[in-house]
Amino acid sequence: MATNIEHDESGFTCECGMRNDYPSYVQAHWSVRLAYTCACQRQYVLYKGTVVKTSRELPEVYDSEAFGD
């Protein structure tokens, strides 16, 4: 069951309450599925303005380097 994640054009708020702002890379790669892991270790997929929480590695997600460390 999908959880509604609060998001807007510049970022989203994780279930833990932490705000995650999108780096410019996200806007430049809007139509690419991007993996994102919050500091609390919850994992999300960003795609065309949607934010979906995932509990497993998704093989179609191929660009998690965008967020750096």
2 domain residue, yes or no: no
Structural domains in the chain (count): 1
Residue 27: its pLDDT value, please?
83
69 domain residue, yes or no: no
Please state, in angstroms and rounded to a whole number, the distance separating the CA atoms of residues 36 and 53. 9
Distances (CA, A) of 60 to 17, 21, 32, 33, 57: 27, 23, 10, 7, 9
Range of the domain at 13: 7-63
Q: Using one digit for the tens of pLDDT, what is the confidence trace for 27-43?
A: 889 899 999 999 999 99
Beta bridge partner(s), residue 21: 11
Predicted TM-score (pTM) of this structure: 0.68
